[in-house]
Amino acid sequence: MPFDRRDQAVRAAVEQGLLRAEQPVAALLDVTGIRACAAALRGAFAAVTDAPVLHAFAVKAAPLVPVLALLRDEGIGAEVASPGELALARAAGLPPDRTVLDSPAKTPAELREALELGIAVNADNPQELARIDALVGASPTSSPLGLRVNPQVGGGAIEALSTATATSKFGVALRDEGARDWVVRAYLDRPWLTRLHTHSGSQGMPPTLMTRAIGAVYELAEEINATAGRQQIDTVDIGGGLPVNFASDEQTPTFAAYARLLKEDVPGLLDGRYGLVTEFGRSLLAKHGTILARVEYTKTAGGRPIAVTHAGVQVATRTVYDPASWPLRIAAYDSKGRPKSGAAVVQDVAGPACFAGDLLAEARPLPLLEPGDVIAVLDTGAYYFSNHYGYNSLPRPGIYGFTTDPEGDSSTTRFATVRAPQSPVEIVAESGGGQPDALLSP
């Protein structure tokens, strides 16, 4: 998010009591930034194709009903991968025709519900496709149906997020012996199979590798349609996964640059014959979220200053366990929420959890932090505050959407509660507090 809006919001969060001694962690979402990003995505694809495009937000990136409703208001649909995510999308008012179900482990009940609702489904494997055969045979459906294939083009910089490797668990491995012929036959035998899906990964994936995977799937769609003698496949779901720049405020790569690259590399896909589905998540939200935490104590160890804060592994799990892949920027503010000045001092920024590795930043040059100061963990709008890790029974932080005054007056910054802070009572309740004697006489 632009730093001026962020600075206004941090100061307002302190002034309005969202962040205080009794509530030392809070997450902020820039509503203006999210709306602008959604508009940029729509505009980027409108500039390269006249075909219909459904931009389906990957709900796992921010499984929060108000966020999904905001994106729905901006013309963005939902890509869901579990019954819980589908329930969230429905609660946010997402209609079936703007919802896509993807998952490598869909149950019969999940498939049945999706087909009854008319939600698009991408089958992951031959066994799942057989289940869909039975369901379609028993009861007609309006659901658009497709098959996910793995073009096996290789992985990116983060192995765990690379889904088009030779041995990925996702989709039908297209280069395996006999697989391509099986896919073509699967479509010829099922006239109602009209979509083709791929997703090659997200963070750490170069866009050129993503477009190579999409090109491979486009060629498969052309082969199937030619063999069928008609355009049986009318829509290609190209997935999402555009990587995010976590090194600065610059939003790169842009949706526009990616859409132009797609136009250059796979022009036939965008000539109007195929509808498109995208499934972006992190790239829509990451830059528009900030986690704030108060500095509780400061100390030194081995001559290095350490700031102990209330944000750590519970909100930044990936960063704590894999800092090389998921580094985060930290901005320093004083106790009143104003940008902190002073010479940069190399220091650690630690979280509250009871293990030595709970560090948001190690040997990071920042103005020397003091008790009562505020750190802002930047670029955390996707995954970081939505996928809580309950280590030490640390509570989920409150999440607040905000809009700011263009004139820069923090007193007019408005906040809306997206999710209230978790209370100790709620922690006890979800930890079996309602049945404390359950194991005394099993």
Kindly tell me if the per-residue pLDDT of 1 is higher than 60: no
Model confidence pLDDT, tens digit, residues 23-55: 999 999 999 999 999 999 999 999 999 999 999
pLDDT attached to residue 162: 63
CA distance 435 to 180: 54
pLDDT attached to residue 241: 80
Peptide bond into 104 cis (omega under 30): no
CA distance 217 to 239: 11
pLDDT more than 90, % of the chain: 85
Q: What's the chain's average pLDDT?
A: 94
pLDDT band at 175 (very low <50, low <70, confident <90, very high): confident
Q: Is the pTM of this model over 0.85?
A: yes
Q: Tokens standing for 241?
A: 């996964």
What percent of the chain is helix, strand and coil (3-state, nearest 5)? 35, 25, 45
pLDDT more than 70, % of the chain: 95
Q: For 302-338, list the strands marked E by DSSP.
A: 304-309, 330-333
pLDDT band at 330 (very low <50, low <70, confident <90, very high): very high
Q: Report phi then psi at 257, rounded to 5.
A: -65, -40
Model confidence pLDDT, tens digit, residues 146-158: 999 988 666 666 6
pLDDT attached to residue 441: 83
Kindly tell me if the per-residue pLDDT of 408 is higher than 90: no
CA distance 379 to 54: 25
